A and B are shown apart, each in its own frame.
Chain A
Amino acid sequence: KAGVTQTPRYLIKTRGQQVTLSCSPISGHRSVSWYQQTPGQGLQFLFEYFSETQRNKGNFPGRFSGRQFSNSRSEMNVSTLELGDSALYLCASSPGQGGYTFGSGTRLTVV
């Protein structure tokens, strides 16, 4: 059974650019959540999608957005990148109950 797939694994962007990250959940999982992990703040919740609807959103600026497609794949977008957006972005999928499985993450570096 394939796990959670995130692409790309690494990204280097310049300040002011925008970026799109992709996540394919485990087959059958309808819930996809996104987290940002930094050394200073730890794992911070960005948003959660369930059946193409955003069900919850964390305390991040509007530059961070996401969406979920009918096949449960999800994308997150960050516009007008800032140096402080450099982080590991993690996607997690869940069947609804029980544990959440994380993907390998996308490491974003903003220069």
Chain B
Amino acid sequence: QKEVEQNSGPLSVPEGAIASLNCTYSDRGSQSFFWYRQYSGKSPELIMFIYSNGDKEDGRFTAQLNKASQYVSLLIRDSQPSDSATYLCAVKYGGATNKLIFGTGTLLAVQP
């Protein structure tokens, strides 16, 4: 069974700090990795995706991928109370499919 695991949290950080969200996956055939943010009562929205080992930065967000360790993370710099949400990690495996396997999400709470 292909799995994606996240710490459910809540992860509490003070405003302005760096929030670090982590995700591990079980299948080495995984090719693409996605981070979604979901506010309570809303649908998930894509923050960023990463395909290659290393870091990918987009504004205050940085995704980090280490395929050897089967580990992907999301760093949020200068965290704001508006970043408080559940962060979902998703993995796409190879082949002609757009099927995503989601982790259960980490609840982030940014304290003003």
A residues adjacent to B (C-beta < 8 A): 31, 33, 35, 42-45, 48, 50, 55-56, 58, 88, 90, 92, 94, 96, 98-105
Q: Max chain A CB contacts within 10 Å: which of B90, B99, B102?
A: B99
Main secondary structure on A side of the interface with B: strand
Bin the interface of chain B by size.
20 to 34
With contact pairs A43-B44, A90-B43, A100-B46 given, residues A33 and B100 touching in the complex (Cβ less than 8 Å): yes
Q: How many A-B residue pairs have CB under 8 A?
A: 53
Chain A residue nearest to B6 in the complex (CB): A42
Asked if B68 CB lies within 8 Å of chain A CBs, one says no
Beta-carbon nearest neighbor of A88 in chain B? B43
Contact (Cβ within 8 A) A102 B98: no
Give Cα A37 to B104, complex, Å.
Answer: 10
B100 in contact with A55 (CB, 8 Å): no
